[in-house]
Chains A and B, each alone.
Chain A
Amino acid sequence: MDIFITALPTILKAMAMGAVPILLASLGELFSERGGLVNIGLEGIMAVGAFVGFAVAKVTGNLWMGLLVAMLAGIAVNMIYAFCTVTLCSDQVVTSMAINILAPAIALFGYNLFVGANPANATGEQMASIAIPGLSQIPFIGDALFNQTPVAYLAFLLVPCVAVFFSRFRAGLSFRSVGENPQAAETLGINVVRMKYVACVVCGALAAAGGAFLTLCYTPIYTDGIVMGRGFIALATLIFGRWNAFGVLAASLLFGFFDGTSVALQAQFQAAPIMFFKMIPYVFTIVALIFFGSRSAGPKASGKPYLREQR
């Protein structure tokens, strides 16, 4: 117990940091699924965002420029998915899996060109944390939760904004109707195809921002495989969070907590089988999906291709 209390501040810090990329990608997926599109290509989009953010920030010296261009790159990659699934009505799962293969290859190709030409490019820029006066001095939790990068604060602020958007704004309600019954939405004058493209734009931007967080705020390097399955975890947190922004936040934090706990246990019990501790966050994910994984709570038309003339 003493070990756990000693490690708690570090676990909480790891929780907050680890939750941000998952939260951003998961909120992006929320838009996508509310628009009726299951996009399991988050992993690939995050990889592109991580590389582009890293490279642009290094070249320009401007971290915000890195984040912005990373989001644009994420949108560009997700437009491939949007064109295939919305315009061509291809299978959403198969298409997004293709994105998961294509996008990291693009990122790695770019990285080899970028760093191969100049090895000094291997280490990029890193965003500094900003401590919130007063709150960051709270014992145990202050530094962990209130000494974050600006991107992390923005990610957490995005949660109530998204929740209000889907519950109070006409556009948010239109999104939801497209995800539930696009034919009915069309009869109400909602441009379903446009809505789906907008969903893809938001999903691409937020997933790429999640990836960029890894290279701009976590560690200033890019490596092949840096996303480490966070894109798939984001999908699980969306289901665990019941397609609700606050639910997604809670699920992301919970995953971050178990991730931080697994590291703390690895640090303290070196002689124990490390792989057991590494499994903890993923075991939690599976257990959560068993209990909360019913898709009945999700948008009814999610994953189904929309043919305007089809009844």
Chain B
Amino acid sequence: MSENNKNQLDSMMVSRRTALGLGLGGAAALALAGCDGGGQTPEGGDDTTDEGGEEKSSYRVAMIMSGIITDGGWDQGHYESLQRAIESHPSWEMLEPKENTADADAATAAQSYVDMDVDLIVGNGNQFASTWAEVITDAAETHPNVHFLITNTDPELEMTDCEVMDNVETVLPDFVQTGALAGVVAGLMTQTKSIGFIGGMRLPSTTTKYSAYLAAAQKVNEGVTGQYNFEAGFTDASFGTKLTEQWINSNNVDVMWGDASAVDNGARQALEAAGADTHFDIAQPIDIVGEDQPTVITSTVTDWMIGQAMDEIEAGTYGGGKAIIGNMDNGGVYLGTFSDKVPAEVQEQINEYAEQIKAGTFITDEEVDAIEAGLQ
């Protein structure tokens, strides 16, 4: 065998090894990605429905999310809402949530639950409105007992791709109430009359929340100014730290409200470094007040109304592309517990204002719109 041939043979052997190594590595990566909370329960619940449409004795619900259930924000809030709904609906069984679902995989994930005849499939966020359009339309014909619930979505504006709406509803929290609750707290707690807000993405819901937040703060404390960033993303905690530090140093911000999951954690670090007794954070969308969060004084909590969707499915009234509005009347929006850094008299004031917000007499849509119109 010539030297050249030997070398060629050697390089071929290396290629095979390389291919084997890469193949094993790729398979391991895919297996781990698959293990990542994406486990599904293959066996169904005690589905006793017959084709004739008799009342069912058990139902199944699945949740699909782009993040993870322990993100301390958006998806954790949805998961906790689902847990509350399950606790109050004993005939419902929760399948393992499907976490870290990329947009490209969202339709496949939903279709897998459709194939399992899951009664309710919840999508955490408006990105599912477009990615599920075809699945929803097909399922309406082939699996009429499967229902879809998409959160944070305005059906009239964001579900135009969906041809059939018989089997789908959406959830829309009252963003003005949410923002106003946070604004009242911020307005009463700020000593510097300077408050901040971080949003993960510039969505209509984000700008409305901020506008109501600032309007409410200015109503209870004249002269309050607001700093905002609507495009902070949802993962870079260090950005939240740097941005908040900048606002503290340059604008004397002493109260923050965040809508950006992990970025909010970073903001809390900057507040803590500046002094946890003088710099405060209002958390969202879950209640996280506690000793391990020294700057958090309260939380604006959102419940995603999954329980109401379950009730409608049981009653056979679900669908038609309705939007379930979560507000202070039905428990969709509320303030969490207060930390002891909020004085008792301030807590009383907040509760009084909260009643006005609930009654719709605190701020008007015009006041909120006026601020929103000024945001570029």
| A residues adjacent to B (C-beta < 8 A) | 3, 6-7, 9-10, 13-14, 17-18, 80, 83-84, 88-91, 94-95, 98-99, 101-102, 105-106, 108-109, 111-112, 115-116, 119-120, 122-123, 126, 214, 218-221, 223-226, 228, 259-260, 263-264, 266-268, 270-272, 274-275, 278, 305, 307, 309-310
Q: Please tell me if B346 contacts chain A, counting CB pairs below 8 Å.
A: no
Smallest Cβ distance from B268 to chain A, in angstroms? 9
| A259: chain B residues within 8 A (beta carbon) | 242
- Check A112 against B37 for contact (C-beta < 8 Å): yes
| B242: chain A residues within 8 A (beta carbon) | 10, 14, 18, 259-260, 263
Smallest Cβ distance from A31 to chain B, in angstroms? 23
- 16 interchain pairs, CB-CB under 8 A: A6-B250, A10-B242, A10-B249, A90-B22, A94-B22, A98-B29, A101-B33, A108-B68, A109-B32, A111-B68, A116-B69, A123-B265, A219-B240, A221-B265, A224-B100, A267-B247
| A108: chain B residues within 8 A (beta carbon) | 36, 68, 100
Given the known A-B contacts A90-B17, A274-B229, are A223 and B99 also in contact in the complex, defined by CB atoms under 8 Å? Answer: no
Given the known A-B contacts A226-B236, A270-B229, are A219 and B241 also in contact in the complex, defined by CB atoms under 8 Å? Answer: yes
Choose one: B10, B71, B229; the contact of A307 (CB below 8 Å). B10
- Of listed A80, A90, A225, A271, residue having the most chain B CB within 10 A: A90
Q: Which residue of A lies closest to B37 (CB)?
A: A112
Choose one: B33, B69, B236; the contact of A228 (CB below 8 Å). B236
| A122: chain B residues within 8 A (beta carbon) | 70, 72
| B residues adjacent to A (C-beta < 8 A) | 7, 10, 14, 17-18, 21-22, 25-26, 28-29, 32-33, 35-37, 67-72, 99-100, 227-231, 235-243, 245-247, 249-251, 261-262, 265-266, 269, 292-293, 375-376
Q: Which residue of B lies closest to A268 (CB)?
A: B250
| B229: chain A residues within 8 A (beta carbon) | 266-267, 270, 274
| B37: chain A residues within 8 A (beta carbon) | 112, 116
| A10: chain B residues within 8 A (beta carbon) | 242, 245-246, 249-250
- Check B246 against A7 for contact (C-beta < 8 Å): yes
With A263-B242, A270-B227 given, name 12 new contacts (CB 8 A).
A10-B246, A18-B242, A98-B25, A112-B68, A116-B70, A123-B293, A214-B238, A223-B265, A224-B67, A260-B242, A268-B250, A274-B231
Choose one: A80, A119, A214, A267; the contact of B243 (CB below 8 Å). A267
Q: Which residue of B lies closest to A9 (CB)?
A: B249
- Check A102 against B32 for contact (C-beta < 8 Å): yes
| A9: chain B residues within 8 A (beta carbon) | 249
- Check A109 against B35 for contact (C-beta < 8 Å): yes
- Check A98 against B32 for contact (C-beta < 8 Å): no
| B250: chain A residues within 8 A (beta carbon) | 3, 6-7, 10, 264, 267-268
- Check B68 against A219 for contact (C-beta < 8 Å): no
Smallest Cβ distance from B202 to chain A, in angstroms? 8
Choose one: A102, A266, A270, A274; the contact of B25 (CB below 8 Å). A102
Rounded to whole angstroms, the CA-CA distance of A236 and B59 in the bound complex is 53
- Check B269 against A98 for contact (C-beta < 8 Å): no
Rounded to whole angstroms, the CA-CA distance of A62 and B198 in the bound complex is 32
- Check A270 against B228 for contact (C-beta < 8 Å): yes
Smallest Cβ distance from A25 to chain B, in angstroms? 15
Q: Which residue of B lies closest to A129 (CB)?
A: B273
Given the known A-B contacts A84-B25, A263-B243, are A223 and B237 also in contact in the complex, defined by CB atoms under 8 Å? Answer: yes
Q: Which residue of A lies closest to B6 (CB)?
A: A309
Rounded to whole angstroms, the CA-CA distance of A122 and B239 in the bound complex is 19
- Check A275 against B231 for contact (C-beta < 8 Å): yes
| B68: chain A residues within 8 A (beta carbon) | 108, 111-112, 224
